[in-house]
Structure 1
Amino acid sequence: METALREAWEEIRLPPDAVEVLGLLDDTATRATPFIITPVVGIVTRDVKFQADGREIERVLEVPLETLRDPNIFRTELWEREGTPHPVHFFTVGVVTCETLLVTVADGVASVTLNRPEVRNALNATMIGELEQALGALEADPGARVIVLAGAGDRAFCAGADLKGMGERGTTLQARESFGGLARILEAMARMRTPVVAKVHGFALAGGCGLAAGCDIVIASDDAVFGLPEIKVGLLPLIVMAPILRSVGRKRGMLMILSGEQVSAREAFDMGLVSRVVPRVELDAAVDALARTLAGYSPTALGLAKEAATTATGLEYSAALRYLREMLTLVAMSDDAKEGIAAFFEKRPPRWSGR
């Protein structure tokens, strides 16, 4: 709760000493799905001025309770009660609650942590479903300008699929559907306009290796280990072949796939699977600094950069150049580009509108 309230204070420029916490809203309807919001409810105890996006707010309109059940809402909601010596402003802060994930949003950075450390954050059906929903919700949240994907615990980013559940997939059609979740996540990460940064420590194996490869940027600690060991148990990393081969090429990718050998973080960097390697003790700081830098850039430019990179790599060279010329026109004519250039000449921080 403290983290959520701190985010609220930062978001609306609310002095902490003006807040009285009333507690958690016990709304059973919000707990009917595996991906929910637990609203933190508070009251402003003295007359203060609210701001949003740098602009002062004179009045905050009422927000219906139904919005609290909307999993796309992560940021602060406010409403005002009349008939008091000064306006009493109630607010709620959405805290995302999942069984297998930890999700927070602060200062434009969304942190999504795979939270099954007892099994090295192995992917089961619940985690895949929650991760798919979390990515969709964060993509729709304007307060999340960059997403950091990490693993809980000291041992692993993600050790791949939970093998204990592999034999419980029912019919062939049911098994086919269960395998579709990871494919949808990888496709969503490529398609979404929000940059995704993987923070990798320890083991990143099988589906975990593919999940990291599917991110836009991979920052790994020097103790990280990558590998595709599926062939050792008669399986194949078929879903994750798509991001792996696009990252490292066919020859190096096939060596990983057919041998099942593990590679160090430095080897993974040399292969093109990792963007940057840092000492383990510097991993958190390095990723935080990068994420905050990205969150400070134009969301329009970030989104178009992702779209352009994803599309252009699938085109023939001349077609890619023609396509990128059109994309350059879009970004150059955007409101954010005009604002960025004006801010540069006026020697002030830009005020991005996302348009």
Structure 2
Amino acid sequence: MAVQETIGIVTTSIQNKTATLTFGHPASNSFPRNLLDQLTEQINTLSTNQEVSVIVLQSQGNGAFCAGASFDELLAVQTPEQGTHFFSGFALLLNAMRNCCKIIVGRVQGKAVGGGVGIIAACDYVFATETSAIKLSEIAIGIGPFVIEPAVSHKIGKTAMSQLALAPHTWKTAAWANEKGLFSEIFDNQEIVDKNLNSFVEKLASYHPEALYEMKKVLWEGTENWDTLLFERAEISGKLVLSDFTKNALSQFKK
């Protein structure tokens, strides 16, 4: 099944108890709010599908994994309410991933920025190529990675999170991300990633679904406050995105 708009696409295929969930956007797989909502809806649907034990989350193409929030939509924000609405899309998606009854395995084939790093952090296990560098650029444009911070810190800790957030122009290598725990395994290229991911997922899908679900709950212990925290963070970003600093920075980035 597929949900497609001119602003992106989300597709889902199910085989051998594994759902492969793919998102894509022409602008380096970035996220307008509509695409965030599509992905959230699909994850919520798969969470209750008895024919699915594992979800593989991936993006389209051979380039960037995800460029984060859509700059076009950020520039279009005119009120704090609109800003909060946009950033709440990330809050809804991260909470859907956290609350999903299925183990989510991420497949990262390239660079990830901003919200893309948050989505990787919300996966339960991640395979990546050695070219999959990461960066949190939000501070440089006058906002901050506030909504995704809990997910990233949950995975790699506050110290590593600060190394990302406070150096917004610096790419961290896939090896760095693997060492800090954002990536579970890294390989030379996409072909080797897929070979190892497929073997891992095949075994994972053969395990007791209830045991996988109980393990998932263990992995996310201590995050129960995210149902309110992430939306509070969305309000912060929603206000900051209206600043002249951010509007000018976004315009320069687009140029």
**Aligned pairs for 1:74-223 within 5 A:** 95-99=1-5, 100-116=9-25, 118-223=26-131
The aligned residue for residue 300 of structure 1 is 210
Q: Which has the higher contact order (CA 8 A, sep 6+)?
A: 2
Q: Which has the higher helix share?
A: 2
Between the aligned partners of 2:17 and 2:176, the Cα distance in structure 1 is 32
Between the aligned partners of 1:96 and 1:171, the Cα distance in structure 2 is 32
Supply the AA of the counterpart residue of 1:212.
Answer: I
Q: In structure 2, do the counterparts of structure 1 residues 132 and 276 end up closer, same or farther at CA, with 3 Å as the change threshold?
A: same
The aligned residue for residue 58 of structure 1 is none
The aligned residue for residue 264 of structure 1 is 173
**Aligned pairs for 1:237-256 within 5 A:** 237-256=145-164
Q: Give the conservation status (yes or no) of the 8 Å contact 2:2–2:10.
A: no
Structure 2 unmatched ranges of 5 or more: 225-255
Compare CA radii of gyration and give the structure with the larger one. Answer: 1
Between the aligned partners of 1:151 and 1:138, the Cα distance in structure 2 is 17
Q: In structure 2, do the counterparts of structure 1 residues 238 and 312 end up closer, same or farther at CA, with 3 Å as the change threshold?
A: closer
Q: Per-residue deviation at 1:308? A: 2.2
Q: Per-residue deviation at 1:207? A: 0.3
Between the aligned partners of 1:257 and 1:312, the Cα distance in structure 2 is 22
1:273 aligns with 2:182: yes
| Matched pairs, number | 219
Structure 1 unmatched ranges of 5 or more: 1-94, 315-355
1:225 aligns with 2:157: no
- State the Cα deviation string for residues 131-166 of structure 1 (Å, max 9, x = none): 010001111111121111111111111111111110
Between the aligned partners of 2:30 and 2:195, the Cα distance in structure 1 is 25
SS of 1:120's partner is: coil
Using structure 1 for the length normalisation, give the TM-score.
0.59
SS of 1:209's partner is: helix
Supply the AA of the counterpart residue of 1:101.
Answer: V
2:195 to 258, 275, 285: 285
Q: Give the conservation status (yes or no) of the 8 Å contact 1:139–1:193.
A: yes
Between the aligned partners of 2:151 and 2:130, the Cα distance in structure 1 is 22
Q: Give the conservation status (yes or no) of the 8 Å contact 1:114–1:158.
A: no
Between the aligned partners of 2:215 and 2:61, the Cα distance in structure 1 is 33
Supply the AA of the counterpart residue of 1:113.
Answer: T
Between the aligned partners of 2:101 and 2:16, the Cα distance in structure 1 is 18
Please give the root-mean-square deviation of Cα atoms over the aligned residues, in Å. 1.5
Q: In structure 2, do the counterparts of structure 1 residues 313 and 179 end up closer, same or farther at CA, with 3 Å as the change threshold?
A: closer
SS of 1:199's partner is: strand
The aligned residue for residue 60 of structure 1 is none
Identity %: 26
The aligned residue for residue 237 of structure 2 is none
Supply the AA of the counterpart residue of 1:283.
Answer: V
